[in-house]
Amino acid sequence: MTSAHPHDAQIRALYAAFIEGWNQRSGAAVAAVFADDGDMVGYDGTTVGGRLSIASDLRRVFGSHPTARYVALVRSVRAVAGGVAVLQAHAGMIPPGEDDIDPGLHSIHTLVAVDEGGGRWKTTLFQATPAAWLGRRDARDALTAELRGLLAAPR
């Protein structure tokens, strides 16, 4: 078991801002959490480098078609080295026009954060990996239930 990261709250807030920006369909808001040279690897494997390119690409994505909303649960925040931390989360997606999570779209989010100075944390890498858990339907069902619990929780 690892101990809590000393900047746990700031790094969680960075991830929460990413999720909020995504759910608001704002390329600028999502990109704001990234370092200037940050990278984003999407659920489909698309890779975009640089904060400005991330903003531009997401404006295109959000403008071209409806996107699913995220509901997410942070699993851990841990130090990797001085000024570097890794956040891992499980996320579910609610398809456009739906009110429930699609279990086939679960993902694992990995966010690598760097302290750019003075405790100002930014994302240097965000990656969404599909969490199909082939052959482990019980694990997928348990995650689905846990994420659905977040939908019912007061905000």
CA 9 to chain centre: 15
Name the 3-class secondary structure at 106: coil
Residue owning tokens 């991330």? 54
Name the 3-class secondary structure at 146: helix
Model pLDDT for residues 79-132, shown as the tens digit of each residue:
999 899 999 999 999 999 999 999 999 999 999 999 999 889 999 999 999 998
**CB contact set of 82 (below 8 Å; sequence gap of 6+):** none
| Alpha-helix runs per DSSP H in 24-133 | 27-31, 51-64
Model pLDDT for residues 28-60, shown as the tens digit of each residue:
999 999 999 999 999 899 999 999 999 999 999
Domain that holds residue 144: 8-152
Q: Is residue 133 part of a domain?
A: yes
Residue 80 is predicted with a pLDDT of 92
Cα–Cα distances in Å, from 138 out to 74, 88, 113, 131, 143? 20, 21, 32, 13, 9
Q: Is residue 71 part of a domain?
A: yes
Count how many domains the chain has.
Answer: 1
| Domain CATH code at residue 104 | 3.10.450.50
